[in-house]
Chains A and B, each alone.
Chain A
Amino acid sequence: MEKSLSWREFAITRLIKASGYSAILFVALIFFFLVREGFPTFGEVGASSLLSIRWYPIEDYFGILPLITGSLIVTIGAGLIAVPFGIGTAIYISEIAPRWMREILKPLVELLGGLPSVVLGFLGFLVLSPFLRAFLNLPTGLTALTGSLLLGGIAVPTVVSVAEDALDAVPRAYREGAWALGATRWQTIWRVTLPAARSGVLTAIMLGVGRAIGETMTVMMVTGNAPVLALKLGSLFSPVRTMTATIAAEMGEVASGSVHYHVLFFIGMLLFLISLGVNIAASSVVFRAKKRAERILS
């Protein structure tokens, strides 16, 4: 009895440890398979062709610059929407809203986070894009702007929840101190609470932008998928194609092991590295803020 019990304990402990380590294994596996399938690109295409401005795989043009600029313009647009609205909503929920309002708003924002991106893409395609075409008098409603508007909505829940956590974590004594010195609640929010929470708010912005750059279905459905270089502000009102949409749209029709297949994996590798960079930067901001707090307190 004693023996079997301790044996069981031992086995279960091992299993639990293994599942804890599995997260590292999965990140490594993902990177390994992206590199394995994407790395041959360097030998097959060459840097100058890869960095050209023409994406036309049928004739072996694999310039990924239009895709990168497409992703950038849509993401910047989404950020310009998600950051102010996300932080504004977080401030409202954490600092201004009465309790009952908070109880309604928080699940609603969470709900937005749970809406399948394909449903938003569907509505963007059927409702938002015809509206924008008529409203802005454009030749097509499937533009970078349409993608930005929807992606902004998709990134908002991430920004709200992380920023709200950061604001919540600011000790109440900070606010009370400011009020006691005669500051209004509004002044307290801007000059005390928000600066105190700034590393968390910065993390929220980064994670929100990271969410936007990786979104696939929505942008594929509403941005028109034209691989043209998007460098001007006017590009916002014309069709673009993002890195994610390119993979999703083309991978299904590609022979595995072909040059095109390798290039699509190469783009996936770039996306992986971008999200890795964003997330490591975001967590190091939090880490540094913690250190600063420790320094001040000691």
Chain B
Amino acid sequence: MFNATRLRIARLFHGITQRELAGRIAVSNGQMATFEGGHKEPKGDVLDALCSVLLVKPEYFCGEADEFREEEVNFRRRISAPEKLKRQVLARGSLFGMAVEQLSRLGKFPAYNFPKHTVETMEDIEVAAEKCRLHWNLTLDAPIGDMARVVENAGVVILAIDLQTAERVDAFSRFGDTSVVVLNLQKRSASRTLWDLTHETAHGVLHQHARGVPLEQREAEADRFAGAFLLPRDAFASDFTACRAMDWEGLLDLKRHWRASVQAILVRARQLELIDAAEYRTRFRTLSGWGWRTSEPDEPTLDVPSLFNKALERAHTDYGTTTADVARTLGWRVELFTSVTGVQPAPPRIDPNVISLTERRLVADKNKAPTS
């Protein structure tokens, strides 16, 4: 049974319009609309052409589609991000979700373990962040050494990849049947990526069932949660007041310890009223002058997600399923798998005792060739 949603997802992932796809496979725009509308099924040459352009196999179009829809996704993007780009990034999420779903049949991912909190005030958010730390066995007085592990141990798969969206999309997350966080690594510092990941975590904790909350409010709440989670108020305030007179060197020392950017530290210090509005402004102006808004010194090491790769390894260990096999089962060409997940399949192992017939023939032909 042809699933038109799967066609749309693949098309959007490649960033092409219906009209462009119609042109590339030599069908009319109307025909393409009927395919995507689910009114007609492409067959024969048309299906082959679709597969060729979209880097899939015919079996890809069969089966259910768990499409990531905008209303169920926390989508962190700049105002300048065009709709087309947004849809393309969502389609990547949908495809990545399919891959995770497939791998979950070959290995058992950590159980979903995100606590839910309803918040109304900033104090509620502070408390929610502290409760989350305790829920995940993280103390309230130490920095988090690996945020990716925190999220993945709680059953959410992270995809950290260069989205090639020129920084117009920071990250997005979806918490539900298949829970994923997608982080854009393009031109981003480790401290900023860590912040994005914690921001997305906040959506999972605070907004999973808060559909009616306006976007701006959700984003502000998630930012506050990220600050409260990475820099717990009591421990951070104590540390900050102990060294604030050390000026920039002290702030960098706090950064090295807490693994949050100097900007995040200043924002947090302002939230907790450890600095006044004038100092906050002066500090930001100074760091802007140094170019720290885009590139800060003393960056922490990047928390590298590992769950997806471990699932691939598990599939290989237990069932001998290679990355290429997973792609095949999904009905994807290997190029599509690499493009969606960033995972390059290992080259096939060649038994040294096996001699290539082609090579042998070439050598034989060369030997037979007449010499002048």
User: Are A and B subunits of one complex?
Assistant: no
